[in-house]
Amino acid sequence: MTVLLSLAVALFAGLMMTRACKPLGLPAVTGYLVAGILIGPYCLGLLGVEGLGFTSFEAVESFHILSEAALGFIAFTIGNEFRLSSLKQIGKQAVVIALFGAVGATILVDAALIGLSFLMPGVVDLPVALTLGAIASATAPAATLMVVRQYKAKGPVTQMLLPVVAIDDAIGLIVFAVSLGVAKAVNSGHMDVLSIALEPVVEIVFSIVAGSILGALLSYTERLFHSRSKRLSITVAYVLLGVAISQIKFHIGPIHCGFSSLLLLMMMGTVFCNMCDFSEELMDRLDRWTGPLFALFFVLSGAELQLSVFTQWTMVVVGIVYIIFRCLGKYFGASFSAKITHCEKTVQDYLGITLFPQAGVALGMTLIASAEFGGAQGDVIRNITLFSVMVYELVGPLLTKIALTKAGEIKPEERKSSRGVMHH
């Protein structure tokens, strides 16, 4: 009973918070995250009443499967935006921008933290700086997609944004694997070139191949059914299957193999939308079905934010340096590369700002890094990432909204209600 009560409270708190955020002009995502903090272990959870909020991080973690599923649907939805017709126009530009944005953030964060390691030698060392630099390359598609959806943003920046975020994650995997390999070598004095070079490539190739096969199977299976509800059910079943497959880990000789759930499900969505002629109509129905799931995902993300990192001033200082230099890297990397690939002026000016949010992928990288290093180094990496994710998640959606509004891609709302149209 407490499980269902917790979910009901989480969903209700999230939706009520979005009402409070609306007059302030804040995106719904921010409302969900704040609601998560309020019913999480640091606020309502302190009362210790099971079911009424989350009393511990273990309680939030127990809903991990919901978050995994939600991320799967988010990745699948993003994949469905990549129709070949539009990719032919912007594919090359998106790759260049993603590369410059990811590498720019990594280089600037590396440089800043290596500099900081001389000032605060007890807190940051070279392996920690290299690892955090690699984590800086990742961008969070979930919050960005929710803002685009909520405000129905349309235009060159929005069109470029989703492919860049998708490609960014593939580049981030490679940057992270290489940096982590170098950081481990600095720690142990032993360099394992084979796993550094091969593991990320294997992960990307496996994810793309598995996603493509699932996407093709999905579009074939859909044709066996004609009722809309059965087609929707099949889509949900395949996305859950994709999420399940992405959890598999195995070894080929010395190489650790696995899948990136984001890449696998994005690829599945891309193949599906290009093979299936009624995919758009299906995605409309899926969007309505996943609304509550996404709301829960962000409330749970809010409840997972660890406010205790604010108690250590050293972490706050390093965290602020990390955030500032990552944002500078993302912004100027995207702006410069958009200029050299002759993108529109609005893309050059505003795309970088929409790449600030950071969450799931960065936290996944942090788990791997913490497990590799353990001890004090692992704690520093985890705390800095948690601190920055908290700031990015709360401020990022608003910045994305502001950037898209300034680019002229979010129109002033004409409020529709069930009773007809209410003008703003």
| Per-residue pLDDT, 125 | 74
| Per-residue pLDDT, 414 | 46
> pLDDT (tens digit, 9 = 90+) per residue, 74-113?
888 878 877 777 677 777 788 888 888 888 888 888 888 8
| Per-residue pLDDT, 128 | 76
> pLDDT (tens digit, 9 = 90+) per residue, 361-420?
777 777 677 766 767 777 777 777 777 877 887 788 888 888 888 888 787 664 444 444
Q: How far, in Å, CA of 259 to CA of 364, rounded?
A: 12
Of residues 165, 183, 114, the one with CA closest to residue 377: 183
| Per-residue pLDDT, 192 | 63
Q: For residue 278, give every residue at least 6 positions away whose Cβ sits within 8 Å of its Cβ, in sequence order, or none.
A: 222, 231
What percent of the chain has pLDDT above 70?
A: 89
Q: For residue 113, give every residue at least 6 positions away whose Cβ sits within 8 Å of its Cβ, in sequence order, or none.
A: 124, 128, 129, 132, 133, 318, 321, 322, 325
Label the pairing between strands 414-417 and 255-257.
unpaired
